[in-house]
C-alpha cells in the first residue's frame, strides 16, 4: 500500500518558526483535513507538500521515496487554490486540458478526458466559457476538475470553499466527498471550518501554533480530544479545571464544587474534565440514579424546535452550555435548575504545561 509520510518537518520563515516537528502518516486514498485557527500553519504545510516552500528540516516520503527536494512540477500533485487560479485567457476546456497538454497527451484523448471530468463535476455545458463567465461555485468545480484530470497522486485543496456561501458550501462538500469516493485519490484539504472538516474527512489533523495537536477521526476528536485546545476547537464544550485524587479504590476528579468518579485511574495529577453540551441535561429536581447534579440558574436559552440550548450560570462559578429537552416547555431566564450528567460521559483531558 502506498502512502504519504510526513516526518518531523520544521519550517522557519527567517527567524519565525511556522511549523514545529510536524509528522503525519497518510494512507493512500484517505481524505485528510488540516484544521486549525488562522496562523496555525495549515497553508504553510500545504505549500511545503506542493513544493512551493522548502522544508527547513524533515522529510516527505511518497511511497517511500523522498520528495522533499522535488520541484512542484515534478511532484504530480493536483492543487486547488483558495482563489481557484483559473487561467482567465483560456476557456474551461482549455483550462482543464492544460495539464494534459503539458504531458503531451494526444488530442483525441485530451478531449475525451476533459469531457469525462466535466461530466463528473457536472459542468458539461460550460466547456466553451471563460472563467469570468462562471459563478464562484462553477469556477471552483473547474479548478477541481483541472487538478484531477491528470490523475495526480495527491490532491491538495487550500480552503476550497471559503469564498462560497453557506448553502453552496454544503452542496459542494457533498459533491467533493462523492468525487473522492469515485476516484479514490488521496485528498488533503485545508479549512478552518470544523463542520466542513467533520463532514468530509476520514481523518482530521488539528493544528495549533505550527504543531499537530491531534490527528484522528472526527469521532475521536469530538469524543476523545487529547487536549483542551482540541475540545474547544472541535465543537462546543464545558471544561472544568481541577485535579485527580485517589480516594480509597476510586480515582476522583475534583474541581471547585464538583467531584466526579473516574472509570479508570489516569496517570496525571492535574487535569481538565470536558462535558459536551449534549451530555448534560437540564432538570428541576435531582434523581437518585448515579448521575451528578449541579445547581445553577438559566442565563439564556436558544430554542431550535427539537431542543433548547441553555446557557447556565452554575453556583460553583462556571458558565455552562447544555442542551435540554424542549418537549414540555422551556425554562425561563433566571429559573433555578440542575444540570445533570453521567460521570461516564465526561472526558478527562491532558493538561499541557503552561
Partner 1 sequence: MSRAIYWISLVLSMLFLALPLLLVLPLAFNESSFLTYPMEGFTLDWFKIAFTQPPWMPAFLNSLKVAFGAAVVAVVIGGLAAMGTMLSGRFGQIILSGLFISPIVIPSVVLGVAFTYAFGRAGFGGGYISLVLAHAILGAPLVFLSVMTSLKGLDPELERAAASMGASRAYRFRTVTLPLAAPGFMTGALFAFVTSFDEVVVALFLAAPQSTTLPIALFSGLRDRLEPTIIAVALMLSLLSLMFLLVLNWLQQRSRYKTRGK
Ligand X SMILES: Nc1ncnc2c1ncn2[C@@H]1O[C@H](COP(=O)(O)OP(=O)(O)OP(=O)(O)O)[C@@H](O)[C@H]1O
Q: How far is the CB of 72 from partner 1 (least distance, A)?
A: 4
Q: Annotate 30-80 with DSSP letters as a single string.
A: -EEEEE--TTSSHHHHHHHHHTSS--SEEEEEETTEE-TTS-GGGT-EEEE
Backbone conformation region of residue 335, classed left if phi is above 0, alpha if psi is from -120 to 50, else beta: beta
Q: Annotate 23-36 with DSSP letters as a single string.
A: EEEEETT-EEEEE-
- Choose, by CB under 8 A, the member of 64, 132, 264, 290 that binds partner 1: 132
Q: Does 162 bind partner 1 (CB under 8 A)?
A: no
Residue 50 or residue 338: which is nearer to ligand X going by CB? 50
Residue 77 or residue 320: which is nearer to partner 1 going by CB? 77
72 binds, among partner 1, Mg ion, ligand X, none (CB under 5 to 8 A by kind): partner 1
18 binds, among ligand X, partner 1, Mg ion, none (CB under 5 to 8 A by kind): ligand X
Burial 190-218 (b: 16+ CB within 10 A, else e): bbbbbebbbbbbbbbbbbbebebbbbbeb
Q: Does 85 bind partner 1 (CB under 8 A)?
A: yes
Q: Does 89 bind partner 1 (CB under 8 A)?
A: yes
Q: Does 126 bind partner 1 (CB under 8 A)?
A: no
146 binds, among partner 1, ligand X, Mg ion, none (CB under 5 to 8 A by kind): partner 1
| Residues with Cβ within 8 Å of residue 342, at least 6 apart in sequence | 279, 290, 291, 292
Backbone conformation region of residue 118, classed left if phi is above 0, alpha if psi is from -120 to 50, else beta: alpha
Residue 70 or residue 342: which is nearer to partner 1 going by CB? 70
169 binds, among partner 1, Mg ion, ligand X, none (CB under 5 to 8 A by kind): none
- Choose, by CB under 6 A, the member of 8, 13, 269, 286 that binds ligand X: 13
Q: Does 267 bind ligand X (CB under 6 A)?
A: no
Considering only residues 293 through 322, tell me which ones interact with partner 1, judged by CB under 8 A. none
Edge-to-edge strand order for the sheet containing 250-255? 258-262, 250-255, 238-247, 270-275, 347-350
Q: Does 44 bind Mg ion (CB under 5 A)?
A: no
Piece of the chain touching ligand X by CB under 6 A; list 32-40, 287-295, 304-312, 315-323: 32-40
Q: How far is the CB of 190 from Mg ion (least distance, A)?
A: 6
Q: Does 18 bind ligand X (CB under 6 A)?
A: yes
- Choose, by CB under 6 A, the member of 6, 9, 40, 349 that binds ligand X: 40
What's the CA gap between 152 and 164, in Å, rounded? 25
Q: Does 139 bind ligand X (CB under 6 A)?
A: no
Q: How far is the CB of 25 from partner 1 (least distance, A)?
A: 23
293 binds, among Mg ion, partner 1, ligand X, none (CB under 5 to 8 A by kind): none
Q: Does 43 bind Mg ion (CB under 5 A)?
A: yes
Q: Does 161 bind partner 1 (CB under 8 A)?
A: no
Q: Annotate 163-184 with DSSP letters as a single string.
A: TS-HHHHHHHHHHHHHHHHHH-
What's the CA gap between 269 and 257, in Å, rounded? 18
Residue 298 to residues 282, 309, 311, 320: CA-CA distances in angstroms? Answer: 10, 10, 6, 10
Contact 337, 284 (CB under 8 A): yes
Considering only residues 44 through 83, tell me which ones interact with partner 1, judged by CB under 8 A. 50-52, 71-79, 81, 83
* Neighbour tally for 170: CB within 10 Å: 15
Residue 79 or residue 117: which is nearer to ligand X going by CB? 79
Nearest to 50 by CA among 76, 26, 25: 76
Residues that bind ligand X (CB under 6 A): 13, 16, 18, 36, 38-44, 192
Amino acid at each position: 500500500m502506498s502512502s504519504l509520510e510526513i516526518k518531523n518537518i520544521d519550517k522557519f520563515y527567517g527567524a519565525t518558526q511556522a511549523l514545529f516537528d510536524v509528522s503525519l502518516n497518510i494512507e493512500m486514498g484517505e481524505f485528510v483535513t488540516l484544521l486549525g485557527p488562522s496562523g496555525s500553519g495549515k497553508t504553510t504545510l500545504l505549500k511545503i507538500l506542493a513544493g512551493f516552500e522548502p522544508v527547513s528540516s524533515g522529510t516527505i516520503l511518497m511511497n517511500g521515496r523522498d520528495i522533499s527536494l522535488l520541484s512542484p512540477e515534478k511532484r504530480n500533485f493536483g492543487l486547488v487554490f483558495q482563489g481557484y487560479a483559473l487561467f482567465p485567457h483560456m476557456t474551461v476546456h482549455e483550462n482543464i486540458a492544460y495539464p494534459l497538454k503539458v504531458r503531451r497527451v494526444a488530442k483525441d484523448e485530451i478531449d475525451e478526458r476533459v469531457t469525462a471530468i466535466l461530466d463528473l463535476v457536472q459542468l458539461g455545458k460550460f466547456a466553451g466559457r471563460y472563467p469570468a463567465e462562471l459563478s464562484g461555485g462553477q469556477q471552483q468545480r473547474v479548478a477541481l476538475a483541472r487538478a484531477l484530470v491528470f490523475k495526480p497522486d495527491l490532491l491538495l485543496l487550500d480552503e476550497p470553499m471559503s469564498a462560497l456561501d453557506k448553502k453552496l458550501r454544503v452542496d459542494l462538500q457533498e459533491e467533493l466527498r462523492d468525487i473522492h469516493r469515485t476516484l479514490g485519490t488521496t485528498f488533503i484539504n485545508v479549512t478552518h471550518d470544523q463542520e466542513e472538516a467533520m463532514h468530509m474527512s476520514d481523518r482530521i489533523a488539528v493544528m495549533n501554533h505550527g504543531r499537530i495537536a491531534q490527528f484522528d477521526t472526527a469521532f475521536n476528536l469530538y469524543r476523545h480530544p487529547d487536549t483542551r485546545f482540541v475540545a474547544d476547537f472541535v465543537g462546543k464544550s464545558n471544561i472544568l479545571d481541577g485535579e485527580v485524587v485517589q480516594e480509597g479504590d476510586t480515582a476522583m476528579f475534583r474541581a471547585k464544587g464538583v467531584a466526579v468518579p473516574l472509570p479508570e485511574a489516569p496517570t496525571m495529577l492535574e487535569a481538565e474534565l470536558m462535558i459536551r453540551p449534549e451530555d448534560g441535561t437540564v432538570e428541576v429536581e435531582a434523581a437518585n440514579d448515579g448521575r451528578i447534579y449541579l445547581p445553577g440558574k438559566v442565563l439564556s436559552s436558544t430554542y431550535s424546535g427539537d431542543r433548547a440550548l441553555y446557557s447556565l450560570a452554575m453556583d460553583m462559578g462556571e458558565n455552562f452550555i447544555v442542551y435540554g429537552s424542549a418537549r414540555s416547555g422551556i425554562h425561563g431566564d433566571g429559573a433555578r435548575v440542575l444540570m445533570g450528567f453521567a460521570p461516564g460521559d465526561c472526558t478527562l483531558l491532558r493538561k499541557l504545561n503552561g
